[in-house]
Structure 1
C-alpha cells in the first residue's frame, strides 16, 4: 500500500457517470490487486445517481482512493483531467463498469519495468454481461508484440482502453486525448503514440470487459466509425508529411470535404471503413448512416454484400430504405 504523501508507482484512473450499479464491484477489483502501490483517482463526471456517494464511502475507508467531483463535462475532458492530476509515472486506465483481474497491475508494471522502450501495455480481456456473468461474445484475439500491433493498427480492436497502462508523461507530451475525435479518442491517441513509443498486449487476460446494450460503442457506433477512419487518415498524413491537418480543428470535416483535406480518395476510404463496421447493422444503415451507404454504393458499385445489406434492411422492417438501396444499387450496377 502507498504510504501517505509518497509518490505511488501507479495511478488507476477512472472516469464515471451514473455508474452506481457496477461501481462497487469495479472498485473492489482494484482494491483486491496483488500490487498495492497505487493511488486510485475516481472522477465523478456529474453523476445524478448514487455513484458519488459510493465512491466517497470507499475513499473514507481507503486512503489510496481520491474522489474528484466535477460538473458534467464529458469523457475526454475527464480523462485529460485524470492524467493532469495523476501523481504516478504510470497510469492504468480503468472503466467503472469493468473488473480488474487480481494480477493486472502486477503484470503490467513488471512488463514496463522490464521493457523501458515500451510506453504502453494492455492485455487480452474476457467479457461479462450486465449482471457480471460470462458473456457469450466470441473472444477477441489481439496482436501481442509491437510489430504485430502496428501491422493491424488500421483496423481494430487492437488495444482495450480499459486495460491500458501507459507512461504518464508520454500521454501528457502527446497532448492528451482530443475532443475532436469524440468516441474514437482512444484510437486517435494510440495512433499518435505509435510514432513515439513501442506498445504491447500481454497474452494473459487481465480485465473483464462488461458488454451492455447502451454502451458507447453501441449508441455512437456511426460517429465512432467515422472518427476512427478520419483518425487513420490523420495518422497517415503525419507519417507522410509530418503534419496533422486536424491538429487545430474544433470539428472534423464532413465526409464529402475530406478529399480537399487529405487528398483524393479520402472520402471513399472513410465510407468504406464505416460500411465495413456497419454492414450488419440494418437499422443504422437505414437511419443515420444512410447517406454513407448511398455514397459508398456510388464509390464501389453494386457489390453482392450491399445487396445483402439491402435485404437485411427489409427484414429489419425498413422497407422504404431497402427499396431506396435497391434502386441505388441498380443505378450503379455494372
Structure 2
C-alpha cells in the first residue's frame, strides 16, 4: 500500500464466469507481479463450475484479493460494480482465462507516471491455446496516441487488448464507466469515449497472453457485435460533432432484425444501411457466417436498395455449401432489386 495509508495504488478488476479450468493461472499471474501495491477485485458472476470456490481459496491466502459473489448479471455489470468499489487511482484489467508477465503492471505504471497526459496504456499481446502453442499478433497495437488515432480511422485495425490495460480511475469514472447496451463491443465504445478526453498508448512488448479457445463471445456473436460496434462509431461521431449521443441513450440497442430503427434514433438518413454494410463486410467469409444470424441483415440491406457487387458470388457460395434456402432468398432479393 502507499506510504502511511492502506489505499492501494492499483485496483485490478477480473470478472469471472465459469473459468475454473483456467482461473488459477490467471490469478497466479497477477499475484506474481513485481509491483505489489494493488488490490485484486474478483467478481464471481454466478459461476456453476466451482470458480467461486477457487476465488475464495485464493482470497483466504492473500489479503489483497477481494472476492465478490453475485447472481449472474453479465460481464459489463460486473466490471461496473468493481469500478464502483475500486480504491486505487489506477484500474488494471485481467480476464479469468488469460496470463501476463510478472513485470506488466510495473512497466505500465512507469509509463503513466512519465506521461501524465496519457490516461490509458495497454500492451502488445501474444496468443496461446490450450495445447500450449503461442503465436504473435498479425498486426501490433498502436504505440502512441498519434498512431492510435490513425488506427481509429482504419476499419478493423486492432486498438488494444482490453484485458491488458491500465487506466486512470478518475477518467474512467468521469465518462460513466462501461455502457451496458454496447455488449460484446464495450471495449471499443470505451476507447472511443476515452479518446475524447485523454491520450491512449500501448507498450511495445507482449506482456499479456490472450487465450484462444472455442466458444468465445466474439466468435458466437460476430454479427451483432459488428452492428453494435458500428453504432458505437456513430455515437462517437455525434459527440465529436457536438451533437446529442442519441444511441447512447438507448438500451437495448436495435438488434439484427431491427436495424432500420438506427436512422430513426439518430435522425441521420443512411445510418441503418451503414450499420448493415459493416455487418455484411464482417460476415462475408466464411460461408457459415454469411448464412448465420447476419443473413437477415444482408437481405434487408439489398431490399433497402444497397448495392451488393458480390451478390451473385454469395448466392453461388451459399448453394455450394448446402445453404439452399439462403441462396434462394438472396437470389430472389437480387432479382427484385
For 1:324 and 1:120, the matched residues in 2 are separated by: 46
Asked whether the 8 Å contact 1:302–1:330 carries over to 2, the reply is: no
Aligned to 2:179: 178
Alignment of 1:46-85 (within 5 A): 46-85=46-85
**What SS does structure 2 have at the residue aligned with 1:207?**
strand
Q: TM-score, normalising length from structure 2? A: 0.92
Match status 1:143 vs 2:142: yes
Aligned to 1:11: 11
Provide the aligned C-alpha RMSD in A: 2.0
Aligned partner of 1:273 among 273, 278, 293: 278
Q: Which runs of 5+ in 2 are unaligned?
A: none
For 1:300 and 1:202, the matched residues in 2 are separated by: 41
Q: Which runs of 5+ in 1 are unaligned?
A: none
Asked whether the 8 Å contact 1:225–1:273 carries over to 2, the reply is: yes
- Would the alpha carbon gap of residues 21 and 2 (structure 1) be closer, same or farther in structure 2, given more than 3 Å must change? farther
Alignment of 1:14-163 (within 5 A): 14-134=14-134, 139-154=138-153, 155-156=155-156, 157-163=158-164
Return structure 1 stretches of 4+ with deviation > 6 angstroms. 1-5
For 1:39 and 1:251, the matched residues in 2 are separated by: 33
Match status 1:256 vs 2:243: no
Deviations 1:274-331 (A, max 9, x none): 1121111322322311121123345442413x44433332343312212322343344
For 2:139 and 2:130, the matched residues in 1 are separated by: 19
**Structure 1 residue 138 displacement after superposition:** 5.4
**Aligned pair count?**
330
For 2:19 and 2:233, the matched residues in 1 are separated by: 31
For 2:211 and 2:3, the matched residues in 1 are separated by: 32
Deviations 1:205-224 (A, max 9, x none): 11100111111101111211
For 1:144 and 1:313, the matched residues in 2 are separated by: 41
For 2:70 and 2:4, the matched residues in 1 are separated by: 24
For 1:3 and 1:17, the matched residues in 2 are separated by: 35
For 2:221 and 2:4, the matched residues in 1 are separated by: 41
For 1:210 and 1:221, the matched residues in 2 are separated by: 18
Aligned partner of 2:330 among 301, 325, 328: 325
Deviations 1:72-98 (A, max 9, x none): 111111000111111111111111001
Deviations 1:174-210 (A, max 9, x none): 1111111111112111111111111011111111001
Asked whether the 8 Å contact 1:89–1:168 carries over to 2, the reply is: yes
**What SS does structure 2 have at the residue aligned with 1:301?**
coil
**What SS does structure 2 have at the residue aligned with 1:42?**
strand
Asked whether the 8 Å contact 2:23–2:96 carries over to 1, the reply is: yes
